Chain A
Amino acid sequence: MSNDRYHTVGKSILRRGAKERLTGNPIFCADMEPENALYLKAVRSRHPHAGILGIDVSSAMSVPGVVQVFTAKDIPGKNLMGIINKDQPLLAEDKVRSLADPVALVAARTPGAADLAAAAVSVDYDPLPAVFDPEEAMAQDAPQIHAKGNVMVQKKVCRGDVTAAFDKAHTIIEKTYRTSAIEHTYLEPDAGIGFPDEDGTLVIYASTQNPHYDHKEVVSLLGVEDHAVRIIQAATGGGFGSKLDMNVQGFIGLALYHLKQPVRYVYTREEAFLATAKRHPFVIHMKTGADETGRITAMQMKAVCNTGAYGSYGIAVASRAAVHATGPYAIDNVNLECTAVYTNHPFCGAMRGFGTPQMALAHESQMDLHARALNMDPLEIRVLNGVKKGTVTATGQVLTDSVGFQDCLTAVQPEYEKAMKGWLSEPTPAYIRRGVGIGGMWYGIGNTGVQNPSTARVAMDREGQVTLFTGCADIGQGSTTVLSQIAGEALGLDAMDIHVVVADTKYTTNAGATSASRQTYISGNAVKQAADKLADVLLTEAVNYLKIRKSDLRLENGRVFDSRHPEKQVAFSRLAPRILDKGGELSWQGYFDPETVPLHPDTGEGIPYSTYAFACHAACVEVDVLTGETSVCRVIAAHDVGKAIHPENVIGQICGGVAMGVGFALMEEFVPGETISMNDYHIPTAADMPCVIPIIVEASEPSGPFGAKGVGEPALIPTAPAIINAVTHALGKRIYALPASLERVLDASIASGHFNNCYQES
């Protein structure tokens, strides 16, 4: 849709909050220093699995500068956290389940005293056998990590007759894929500060993706009334899913509750690595059958994912993995199952994509394997199988609108063909082999088959000034800018003319988590609804004032005017007092919850999402067959976002997603006990980045604000499979485990004979 019809939607306006960040304003929690703040430090388990026989804090209390040492018995409310299933104590009571489990919390006057005291807390542990492999943890005699057993959840999606379809299949491919634990590595280590307000309210500033959830959780931990706690989201230096959990908020709340004086807790990078969620490592067994034309007729998938010591978002990861296992392809017969298992691994939670990036490695590798078996082009087999309007998904949902997958395939085709024909045949040194690979993806916007509403308020004051109140945490993706644009569009105002109050539980209402690529679509709709209500009140009053029928009136630049005679107009500032004086309302709430149907527990039948984003990436790589080094040269990234409210923000998400995908594909692996700091964990630098060619596809979503869906997670999902398919294309040998590190690529180079051929030639 042309942007000309819009006032601000579709325009890449300057971002809200960018100037503060460019000038180094003290807006992050670590930059805030309330006077006389005490320093907090958690004492963490040194055992992956152990009973706690006793905790002695007497030596710690005698360290000069120590004010208090808290243990589980000091928690006045419910000592359990978790957004989906509550299984994680703030401070361990009877046992620890991972190396990171906190057992005590020190509050001290200096950071040095806090560290000394933390080291002086003496815990009497009774070590228990530990288990780290999820498949081992499913055995009958495996150590039990939680009382309810080690299998946290199993999600299934079944449709059609898989056995019959495999019997009839022309080609069957069956493989096992493995992915690594990933550390989010947001640039800002977790941090928070707190202080008691004049009226006794416990105020907590936090680096968070979900302030309203934090509020509920702190209230529950402390056993206090809602109004006793106020959470304000400070500037948040990236999250990618990890700042959906309670990282420092609970500790700050506990110390504030007892000490009634300012406190701060800033994780070191090492503590952020140790103590926060990771991406779930997956083992995926996938079997697919195709007919002689290349149409995929059946898929059987069994995945086990390691949720570590606690659930966090693991249940959502398992259900999303099962629902997304088919990829963006129409497959009539499916039997899909994902099991999330507790182990003594550090806990795993949400990370950009919730299991979908792991699944994409499997389904995109399978697509290429089928293409090869039938001597088809990888793009062609995706066009043949790709979803379109009318496709019935694995959960039985009929895709009716905004199904832009085929458009994404078409969008990458010219660059893909150019690379296949031209770039591949350019001369290279003998030790360099080039490859081109494709990756496709789909991603359901919002939470899976459960309610996940957002609310927002748009209010005008007597002078005609509009303020947007939203609980939506902007963690760097730019949601505050985009939501201002949506409100602005509805009211005919420049986005920057709207005041914003963001993510402060005293003033904003719940917008849900900044996760699941849901904020533009869900909070965007809530904001639009509130703004539309306000606009209607203004129009109604303008009818009365201008004596012109409503259908002829338009809102623009803070006034209402007659579209036929623009000189007939009235300013908002004139309408506002008239409305208020008549007892009218200028403050309006919006609410939106996507239309979903809960999934049947046995078959997975239902409507998990009301809309999906689609994408296709093509990657061009060069592999050094003598060293195993893979350079990603180009990524062409086409994304169906419904409508780009802010195109440069969309491009920013796409390029950032590609970078994270390069890391997932080639270099990132978190190994508990070995990965301690950024010295041991490498993420892509500017020098590792390919040229990214973002292509925005807009298959308008009728239920989206101005047609918009989402892009945050989709940006990452197709990159790794595209790269792996390109490496396979270069070497003629496939890699089934991520990351495709130097060692794994070199192994593939040796196994394929390229290493020897090149070595002998030289």
Chain B
Amino acid sequence: MTQTRIPVQFILNGKKTAVDILPEQSALQVIRDELGMKGTKEGCGIGECGACTIEVNGQAVNACLMFGVQLDGCRVMTVEGLAEDGRLHPVQEKFLAGHAVQCGFCTPGLLMSTHALLGENPEPDDHQIVQAISGNICRCTGYQQIFSSVRAACGQSDQGSVRENQDSKEERC
């Protein structure tokens, strides 16, 4: 029995992409299984962990909660779209320099949440940064080096980041 496939077209990382997909496939399955792009991770499949975060029309979304057909006509960006010609994107550079990567499974999702945040708001305050990344679970880092790296990516100081983080967090509590 052959299931009916639906043609879907969208811009993926700046390139026109056409793919025939099954109606029940999630955007995550389309990206990982149909297009074979493995940078976007599956951590829970139910929208709790944020490992599958991609950018759709500039917004960070959980790809596991979105149907593949909803990508039709959209501008989609995955972690593979960040680096250009082997040169890391500034957000990736800051994560690298800020020691924000441990096991790395949450990293692509966090990069996409950060990228989407900066697209919407190039100068977010600390509260907005926390809001933007609080949908991305990380079990390794405790978020502090991630937080400092996002701050640095926003052009805020990453010098003595822990201290600065402390001060900013103090304002929140």
Contact A694 B105 (CB under 8 A): no
**List of B residues within 8 angstroms of A26 by Cβ:** 38-39
Partner among B48, B95, B138, B147 whose Cβ is within 8 Å of the Cβ of A22 = B95
* CB-nearest residue of chain A to B43: A187
B76 close to chain A: CB less than 8 A? no
A310 close to chain B: CB less than 8 A? no
Partner among A187, A655, A693 whose Cβ is within 8 Å of the Cβ of B143 = A655
Contact B170 A687 (CB under 8 A): no
A652 close to chain B: CB less than 8 A? yes
Contact A23 B96 (CB under 8 A): no
A188 close to chain B: CB less than 8 A? yes
Contact A678 B108 (CB under 8 A): no
- The residue among A20, A22, A633, A648 with the most chain B CB atoms within 10 A of its own CB is A22
Alpha-carbon distance A689/B170, docked complex (angstroms):
11
Contact A693 B166 (CB under 8 A): yes
Partner among B42, B92, B142 whose Cβ is within 8 Å of the Cβ of A689 = B142
Contact B45 A19 (CB under 8 A): no
Q: A24-B80, A685-B137, A690-B173 are in contact. Are A18 and B145 (CB under 8 A)?
A: no
Alpha-carbon distance A236/B102, docked complex (angstroms):
10
B68 close to chain A: CB less than 8 A? no
Alpha-carbon distance A678/B51, docked complex (angstroms):
13
A83 close to chain B: CB less than 8 A? no
**Which residues of chain A (657-672) have a CB below 8 Å from chain B?**
657-660
Interface size of A in residues (CB-CB distance below 8 Å): 62
**List of B residues within 8 angstroms of A655 by Cβ:** 141-145
A478 close to chain B: CB less than 8 A? yes
**Which residues of chain A (166-188) have a CB below 8 Å from chain B?**
184-188
**List of B residues within 8 angstroms of A677 by Cβ:** 44, 46, 48
Alpha-carbon distance A633/B170, docked complex (angstroms):
7
Partner among A24, A269, A693, A694 whose Cβ is within 8 Å of the Cβ of B79 = A24
Alpha-carbon distance A704/B78, docked complex (angstroms):
43
- The residue among B46, B134, B173 with the most chain A CB atoms within 10 A of its own CB is B173
Please encode chain B, from 31 to 51, with 1 for each CB lying within 8 Å of some chain A CB and 0 for all others: 000001111111111101101
* CB-nearest residue of chain A to B167: A691
B7 close to chain A: CB less than 8 A? no
**List of A residues within 8 angstroms of B48 by Cβ:** 677-679
Contact B103 A269 (CB under 8 A): no
- The residue among A33, A235, A656, A692 with the most chain B CB atoms within 10 A of its own CB is A656
Contact A659 B103 (CB under 8 A): no
Contact A22 B46 (CB under 8 A): no
Q: A22-B88, A23-B88, A24-B78 are in contact. Are A268 and B45 (CB under 8 A)?
A: yes
Partner among A188, A236, A478, A689 whose Cβ is within 8 Å of the Cβ of B43 = A188
**Which residues of chain B (145-168) have a CB below 8 Å from chain A?**
145-147, 162-163, 165-167
**List of A residues within 8 angstroms of B138 by Cβ:** 187, 686
**List of A residues within 8 angstroms of B102 by Cβ:** 238, 476-478, 652, 656
Please encode chain A, from 186 to 202, with 1 for each CB lying within 8 Å of some chain B CB and 0 for all others: 11110000000000000
B111 to chain A, nearest CB (A): 7
Contact B134 A651 (CB under 8 A): no
**List of A residues within 8 angstroms of B140 by Cβ:** 187, 238, 476-477, 652, 656
Contact B44 A15 (CB under 8 A): no
B83 close to chain A: CB less than 8 A? yes
Contact A659 B99 (CB under 8 A): no
Alpha-carbon distance A19/B82, docked complex (angstroms):
12
**List of A residues within 8 angstroms of B41 by Cβ:** 28, 30, 187-188, 237
**List of A residues within 8 angstroms of B101 by Cβ:** 15, 18, 21-22
A75 to chain B, nearest CB (A): 30
**List of B residues within 8 angstroms of A659 by Cβ:** 139, 141-143
**List of B residues within 8 angstroms of A692 by Cβ:** 142, 144, 162, 166
B63 close to chain A: CB less than 8 A? no
Partner among A19, A31, A648, A685 whose Cβ is within 8 Å of the Cβ of B99 = A648
Contact B145 A651 (CB under 8 A): yes
B107 close to chain A: CB less than 8 A? yes
**List of B residues within 8 angstroms of A88 by Cβ:** none
Contact B139 A187 (CB under 8 A): yes
* CB-nearest residue of chain A to B78: A24
A650 to chain B, nearest CB (A): 10
A45 close to chain B: CB less than 8 A? no
Contact B130 A634 (CB under 8 A): no
Contact B130 A21 (CB under 8 A): no
Contact B105 A187 (CB under 8 A): yes
**Interface SS majority for chain B:** loop
B5 close to chain A: CB less than 8 A? no
How many A-B pairs have beta carbons closer than 8 Å: the answer is: 199
- The residue among B107, B140, B141 with the most chain A CB atoms within 10 A of its own CB is B140
B21 to chain A, nearest CB (A): 16
B15 close to chain A: CB less than 8 A? no
Chain B interface size, under 10 / 10 to 19 / 20 to 34 / 35 or more = 35 or more
* CB-nearest residue of chain B to A27: B104
**List of A residues within 8 angstroms of B167 by Cβ:** 691
Contact A631 B173 (CB under 8 A): yes
* CB-nearest residue of chain B to A689: B143
A25 close to chain B: CB less than 8 A? yes
A649 close to chain B: CB less than 8 A? yes
* CB-nearest residue of chain B to A423: B170
**Which residues of chain B (103-152) have a CB below 8 Å from chain A?**
103-108, 111, 130-131, 133-147
B97 close to chain A: CB less than 8 A? yes
Please encode chain A, from 684 to 706, with 1 for each CB lying within 8 Å of some chain B CB and 0 for all others: 01110111111000000000000
Alpha-carbon distance A10/B104, docked complex (angstroms):
23
**List of A residues within 8 angstroms of B170 by Cβ:** 633-634, 691
Alpha-carbon distance A336/B141, docked complex (angstroms):
34
Partner among B36, B38, B133, B142 whose Cβ is within 8 Å of the Cβ of A658 = B142
A475 close to chain B: CB less than 8 A? yes
Alpha-carbon distance A691/B162, docked complex (angstroms):
8
A332 close to chain B: CB less than 8 A? no
**List of B residues within 8 angstroms of A658 by Cβ:** 142
Contact A15 B99 (CB under 8 A): yes
A496 close to chain B: CB less than 8 A? no
Please encode chain A, from 246 to 287, with 1 for each CB lying within 8 Å of some chain B CB and 0 for all others: 000000000000000000000011000000000000000000
A282 to chain B, nearest CB (A): 22
**List of A residues within 8 angstroms of B106 by Cβ:** 187
Contact B169 A686 (CB under 8 A): no
**List of A residues within 8 angstroms of B36 by Cβ:** 33
Partner among B99, B105, B130, B144 whose Cβ is within 8 Å of the Cβ of A188 = B105
Alpha-carbon distance A256/B92, docked complex (angstroms):
39
Alpha-carbon distance A678/B44, docked complex (angstroms):
7
Contact B43 A683 (CB under 8 A): no
A17 close to chain B: CB less than 8 A? yes
User: A-B pairs with the 10 shortest C-beta distances?
Assistant: A24-B39, A21-B104, A476-B103, A237-B105, A655-B142, A659-B142, A31-B38, A691-B169, A633-B173, A678-B48
A residues with CB within 8 A of B: 12, 14-15, 17-26, 28, 30-31, 33, 184-189, 235-238, 240, 268-269, 475-478, 622, 631, 633-634, 648-649, 651-652, 654-660, 677-679, 683, 685-687, 689-694
Add 11 more A-B contacts to A652-B140, A652-B142, A686-B136 (CB < 8 A).
A22-B101, A23-B39, A187-B51, A188-B105, A237-B41, A237-B103, A477-B140, A634-B173, A651-B99, A678-B44, A687-B134
B residues with CB within 8 A of A: 36-46, 48-49, 51, 78-80, 82-83, 88, 92, 95-97, 99, 101-108, 111, 130-131, 133-147, 162-163, 165-167, 169-170, 173
Would you give 25 A-B contacts (Cβ < 8 Å), ordered by A?
A15-B101, A20-B104, A21-B101, A21-B107, A22-B88, A22-B104, A25-B39, A33-B36, A185-B137, A187-B138, A235-B104, A236-B103, A240-B139, A268-B45, A477-B102, A477-B140, A634-B169, A655-B143, A659-B139, A685-B143, A686-B130, A686-B147, A689-B142, A689-B144, A694-B162
